[in-house]
A and B are shown apart, each in its own frame.
Chain A
Amino acid sequence: MIKMLTISILMLTVVALSNASAHPATERYIPIGKSPGISGVKSYVGKIRSVHDTESGFAMTVENATTEVRIDETTMIYVDTGSRSSNRIGTEEDCEVGRTVEVYLHDSGVAYWVKIEASR
């Protein structure tokens, strides 16, 4: 019985370290608004209204409301080039005011990923 409890506790410890995760690599090639189970359900699509001065992130306008988005080292930024070329990995510098953007947020307000329309 003690062994059973031990194995339970140990395995629970290990399991707790594993979280559900989607495939980040192919997400890059999925255009704005088309991420399955996320777009239209859990993400926000709008335009970047302003870029934060003091921390990484920006404010975006979503249906006349403003949503604050924070970016940290875990956030993936993808640039959606439409049909012009291959989508690419982006940086914070791609987060320019006026660009269309889709954001998938943690509850904390930090973005899992940001997809930005490429500049013209």
Chain B
Amino acid sequence: MFRLRHCLWIVPVALGLVSCQTTPPPAPEDPLVLKGEEIFFNETFSGNGRTCGTCHRAEDNFGLTPAFIATLPDDDALFVAETNRDLANNFENPTLMRKLALIVENQDGFDDLGNNFNMRGIPHTLALNNSIDSRDGPRTGWSGDGAPGDGSLRSFAVGAVVQHFPKSLNRVDGVDFRLPTDEELDALEAFQRSLGRREDLSLPIGLSDETVARGQEIFLDNTMGKCNACHFNAGANADPNLLGPNAGNLNFNTGVEALPDQPADLTGEKNPPDDGFGNPGNGEFNTPTLVEAADTGPFFHNNSVETLEAAVAFYNGDAFNDSPAGRLIIGATGSGINLDATQVVAVAAFLRVINALENLRAGRELLMTAVAYEPSNPRQAVLIRRASFELEDASQVLRGGGLHPGAAAEVESAMSALADALGSADPESDVRLALRRITSARSAMET
């Protein structure tokens, strides 16, 4: 039973947040959200055995990385192309899936499966509530045109079932899968909109580490990093001061496809150029949110860059500065982006810290919700485990950048407390200890 008196605990963490979303975020434990969660992780839609959660793993930030794939058994539904003879050809490329977490997308049509396809990464589904609306309508998927029907997030699941769930490549409704009902689409949308951050930051924020603080300055400086124009407040929406009110989430051709020596190409596997938005495509891809970046690599639509620092450095290179978006920046500001190594690292350090702070916020929210359940309710353990994933990410993101070792230690101490909580008949005291550690970790990173 959910203890209502504990709901008073569930207050937003005071970050000075501002909202630019057009759809009110659903409450995380809303019955429709819980129904959507059940469908997301368990419903196969009478298809090949995959669920939404097959590729969007809660343990892996609702995305999927090569490292996580390496932990999966061979009979996991992700690998249906290796186990289902009807899907053996042109449904997935097992080599690229296992090595680079790339999946097949036929966004330009299904008539020539052997040649007309693209290999794309699996984007996370965090912060969707405030990262897909634009003045031109919703932008879903890597190129902003991922959903059939009206193109909305609600409709996205229908396209995903057709693309990723069929028992055979005939893709016949009622035979190879069943399409989601209206009620299922409503629930899936509510669940997806509940995931992760539901409000945008308001930068600048007070940061204690000098390098991280400098990274924020560079990020916000339209003569240096020039990041904030498209990633306003490190989100997925454009700066309304530059691009007008309600610009929202925009598409750009940033030249990622022009990168030399892309990992997928180096494998020797077939990897056609990806033309992005539309059919035929215009080369544009959707602007991703950056708060969630540090723990959701590899980066870009084709997983072409493994590390956060390299993703920041991409904007120094020829591929970006010769691209339509790069030329636009040069034309508007008189120069391209040209950061030195220390500045690249500073921007990445800033992105790491705001990601760690978001992980702590999410972990805290999950734990506050968890303790509102009775220990006998299995939902409590689900939420504690999910909070542990968030804390683990925060620790790894900080350690990976050599940042805030004291805060990382606090986070790891919180993780230990949660491990104890999961083995305890009365976990509340351990959860409260973890919450105190989270507060300490935050305090070490913020001013």
Contacts and interface: CB of A to CB of B under 8 A. Distances in A.
Contact of A25 (B108, B222, B241, B242): B108
Interface string B229-263: 10000000010011110010011100000000000
A39 B155 CA distance: 12
B170 A27 contact: no
A11 B328 CA distance: 7
Given A15-B247, A18-B136, A6 B331 contact: yes
Interface in A58-81: 81
B149 A29 contact: no
A83 to B, nearest CB: 5
A20 B134 contact: yes
Chain B at the A interface: SS class: loop
Contacts of A3: 222, 332-334
Contacts of A12: 243-244
Interface in B154-173: 154-155, 158-159, 162-163, 169-173
A12 B135 CA distance: 12
A8 interface: yes
Interface residues of B, number: 60
A12 B241 CA distance: 12
Contacts, number: 147
Contacts of A11: 229, 238, 242-243, 328, 332
Nearest to A38: B149
Contacts of A36: 147-150, 152, 154-155, 158, 182, 185
Interface string A20-43: 111111111111001111110110
Contact of A22 (B111, B148, B182, B252): B148
A89 interface: yes
Nearest to B109: A25
List 9 A-B pairs, minimum CB-CB distance, nearest first. A20-B137, A37-B150, A7-B332, A36-B149, A36-B155, A22-B151, A26-B159, A86-B170, A26-B162
25 contacts: A4-B222, A6-B332, A7-B333, A10-B328, A10-B332, A11-B229, A11-B243, A19-B137, A20-B151, A21-B278, A22-B147, A23-B141, A23-B146, A24-B109, A25-B279, A26-B148, A28-B110, A29-B162, A30-B158, A31-B173, A35-B148, A86-B169, A87-B171, A87-B172, A89-B109
Given A3-B332, A36-B182, 6 more contacts: A8-B243, A18-B277, A19-B137, A20-B151, A23-B145, A31-B179
Interface of A: 3-4, 6-8, 10-12, 14-15, 17-31, 34-39, 41-42, 81, 83, 85-87, 89
